[in-house]
Structure 1
C-alpha cells in the first residue's frame, strides 16, 4: 500500500509537470476575415468604419503595413495559408479552393504537438474526398458550409437568393451554414460563431488549443444589423460627397469612397467579435499566453465589370480590389499579438505573406518547423530572416476571368518592385510599390532591363510549377 504522503507528493509532481507543459505551449487563435480590405480598419486609416477592438489589438501587438494575401481570391489564398506555400504549388488557381490531404496543414502540425484544434466558419477548401476540415487536422468543427459565402447572415442561415439588396438570383443550398440549430429570429451569424468559439475557449482553457476562426464576414451577401446600418447611413456623406463609383479601366468600375452602411455594419460586427474573444482571454487569465493573428484572405471587394452603387468598400489609396493583381487585390491587414514575444504598439513595413504564418506560429509556440511543408513561408520574427523577407521573390497566378473585371494575369514582387503580366496579351506593367503604393506610375519603359528580367523569372516560375486549375 502506498503511503498517503507519497500519493500527495506524486500528485503534486504531476500537477507541476502539467503546469510546466501548459506554460510552454501558448494558445493560438488565428482570425481570418473574408474580403476585408487593407483600408477597412481604423488602425489602417479608415475614417468611416468603426473598429475599436481591432485598433486596440494593433496597439497591443504589431501591425504590418506590407502584408499580402497568397492570392487575390478566396479559395487559393486559404490553401496558401493552410499549407504554408504559394497556392499554385497546391494546385489552386480558381475561386473555389481545394486542399489535398497530402498537404500537412497548420492545424495538423499543432495537433501532432498536443494541441486541441478547433475550426469555425468558412472553409472553402473542399468538402469531399476527405478534404473536409475534420480530415485536415481539426478536432472540432462548427458552422461550415459547402460554398464560399453564407446564404444569409441571419438565422437560420439559409440561402435567400440575394447578394445585393433588392437583387434576386436562384437559391444555392450549398451556401446554407450547417449545424447551428437552436437559434432565434434576428440572431446574427458573426455573433453566433463567436459565442460558439467562446464556449470552446472556456471548455479548453486548461490545455493548449489552436483555433482557426474563419469568418464569413465581410463577404456578401450585403447584410448587417439594422441598428448598425442606421448609425452609418448619414456618416458616409458627412465624410465624402464624391460620386460613389468611378470608371478606372476599360474593364471595370471601382468604388472610390467608403460609405456603404450595410457593409459598415458587417465590419462592426466583425470587430465586436474580436473584442469578445479578447475579453474572454482576459477574464480567463489566458491573454499573456495566447498568440492572436488577424488578417484577411484577399483585398476588399471594390471593383466590378458593370459597377453598382452597392459595391461594398473602397481600397483607396490602393488600386482596384479583390480579384486583381494590383495592391487593392492582394495587400491585406495583418496584426499579431503575443505579449511574451511580440513588442506591443509597433508597426512594420516588412513584406510578409499569408503563407508566412505557418512557420511563424510554430516558431512562436516553440514547436519544430516542417520545412518540407511550409516551403515558401518564413518566420517573420526571426531576425536572421528579416533581410530575406524584403528581397525574396513572391508570385501570384490567376489565369481566369473574375466578376471584378479581372482578366487572366500573373504577378511577382521582388524588393520594392512588382510586375504584373497579362496572360492574354503578354503586356507587362512595373511599379515601385514601396514608393508608389497607389501604382500610379508605370515604370516598364524606363526600366526595360529590370522589367525583362522579372518577366523572365515570372514565366520561368510558372513553367516550373506547371499550374493547373484545381
Structure 2
C-alpha cells in the first residue's frame, strides 16, 4: 500500500445538494453516496464559488477564484501558467488520470491538446465539451493521442467504464489522482432537456417538489422526473467505482470526494438554469471518504469548491501555494477550535456581472447593470440586488433588499463582500444602495 493516499474525485454537473439522502432527500436516489457519508465526512454547507461550468472547474482545479485565473466565463481556456492539483501531485510522484468533461481547453468539440489538459498526462479519455460531442446514449471522447473513443450506451455508464478501465490498468507502484467528470445531470443542450436512462423518469413522476420551485414557472414540471432519474443512475455508477476500488484492495487508502460544479434552479430565477446567487444554483453536495475515518462526521462550517485543491495537497503532504484562495478542509475534519471563515464568496458571470456573499443567516448579492456578463470580468460600480434572511426564508421567497429596516445588515454584508473581493485580487468597488424594496425574488 502506498504511503500517500490515492485520490478519486467524482464530479457531477449541475447537481443540486438536495438530491442527496444525507442532506435530507427522501427518494433514495443516492444510497451509495449515503453509505460513504455514514463512514465519512458530509460538508453540510458546501457551495460553488462560481455557478457556471467552466469557471467552477477552473477554481476547483487551481484553488483560485475565476477572476484570478481569467476563466470568468465558459469557453475560456485555463492559462498555461495556471497550476492545477494534477500538476502539483504529478510532480510529487502521483499518476494523473482524467475521464469525462473537461471544459477548460477552449477546443469545444475538438480534441484537447496535451498542453491544455491541466497536468492530467498519464491517462486521458475526455472531451472539452462533452455535451457537444455526445448525446445521452451515444457519442465520443478523445484519448491521450487525440483519437476518438466512441460509445453507444448511457453516457454515465460509458464514462464510468473508462474510469474503471484506468483503475484496472494503472501503475501499482504509484499513488494516483483519478478525476471522473460526468456531464450529468446537466441538460442536453441541443435537446433542451434533461434525459434520464430509459424507465428511470417514470419512477419519479409523483416525487415531492423542492420548495423553491413550487408555484414558479420555469421548466421543472417537464424535467424534474428525468433529473431525479439521472441522479439515481449517477449514484449506481458511483457504487461501481467504489466496488472496483474495494476489489483492488485500495479503497481504504483512497480519498474519495463527491461534489458538483453548481446546482439548477430550472429557469425559475432567470432565463436559464444556474447563473444566479440563489441556493438552488450555488449550494452543492460535498461528501468525502478519508482513510482512518470510519464513522459519520458532519461538518457545519461554510466551505467552497476553492477549498478542495489545498485540501488534497495537504493530504498528500505537499506545500499549499500562497496564491491559492481556498483553505484546506483537513483542520475541520480533526475537530476542535478552528478559526474558520464566517461566509463564502461567489462570483457570477454570463447572466450578469454579479458578486454575492453567503453567511449562515444572510444572502447578499450585488450586480453591475452597465456591464455585460459575457464580456466583462468585473466592475467598479455595483448595485444591490438581493438580500435574503436564510434562517426565516430558506427557500428565498422574500427579497428584503431596499427595506430600510435591514440597512445596517446590508452595510455590514457589503463591507464583508468588499473584503472578499480584495482578497481574491479584485478592486474594491462602489456599491450603490437599493432605493426601494425590489419585486425580484
TM range (shorter): 0.7 to 0.9
2:374 equivalent to 1:427: no
- TM-score, normalised via structure 1 length: 0.75
Partner residue in 1 for 2:363:
418
Which residue in 2 is equivalent to 1:193? 159
Query: Which residue is equivalent to 2:426?
Result: 465
Match of 2:184?
Answer: 217
**Could you state the TM-score of these two structures normalised by the residue count of structure 2?**
0.79
CA distance in 2, matches of 1:69, 1:52: 23
Mapped contact 1:97–1:125 kept (Cα < 8 A)? yes
Mapped to 2, the partners of 1:149 and 1:57 lie a distance apart of: 32
Confirm whether residue 371 of structure 1 aligns to residue 321 of structure 2. yes
Tell me, which stretches of 5 or more residues in structure 2 are unaligned?
A: 189-193, 370-381, 429-441
Query: Per-residue displacement from partner, 1:180-205 (whole Å, max 9, x unpaired)?
Result: 5364x4x1221111111112112224
| Alpha-carbon distance in structure 1 between the residues aligned to 2:207 and 2:7 | 40
Q: In structure 2, the residue corresponding to 1:361 is in which secondary structure?
A: helix
Contact 1:254 1:302 in 2 (8 A): yes
SS of the aligned residue for 1:269 comes to helix
CA distance in 2: counterparts of 1:101 and 1:238, whole angstroms: 46
Aligned length: 398
**Counterparts of 1:305 and 1:323, CA distance in 2:** 9
Q: Which residue of 2 aligns with 1:250?
A: none
Confirm or deny: 8 A CA contact 2:204 2:229 kept in the other structure.
no
Partner of 1:6: none
Indicate conservation of the 8 Å contact 1:26/1:291, yes or no: yes
Mapped pair 1:75 → 2:54 = yes
Correspondence 1:155 to 2:138: yes
- Any idea what SS the aligned residue of 1:215 has? strand
Q: Please name the residue that 2:229 is paired with.
A: 265
* Matched-pair contact (CA < 8 Å) for 1:37–1:298: yes
For the aligned residue pairs, the C-alpha RMSD in angstroms reads: 3.3
Aligned match for 1:328, one of 280, 304, 315: 280
Within 2, Cα distance between the matches of 1:137 and 1:143? 11
Kindly provide the CA deviation profile for residues 67-120 of structure 1, in whole angstroms up to 9, marking residues without a partner as x: 001111111111110110222211222233431121110111110110000001
Q: Report deviation, 1:26.
A: 0.9
Q: 1:385 to 1:180 in 2, by over 3 A?
A: farther
Shift of 1:426: 1.1
SS at match of 1:266: helix
Task: Check the 8 A contact 1:118/1:211 in 2, yes or no.
Answer: yes
Conserved in 1, the CA contact under 8 Å of 2:99 and 2:179?
A: yes
Cα 1:133–1:28, aligned 2, differ >3 Å: closer, same or farther? Answer: farther
Go from structure 1 to structure 2 and tell me whether the alpha carbon gap of 1:455 and 1:113 turns closer, same or farther (over 3 Å shift).
same
Alignment-derived partner of residue 395 in structure 2: 438
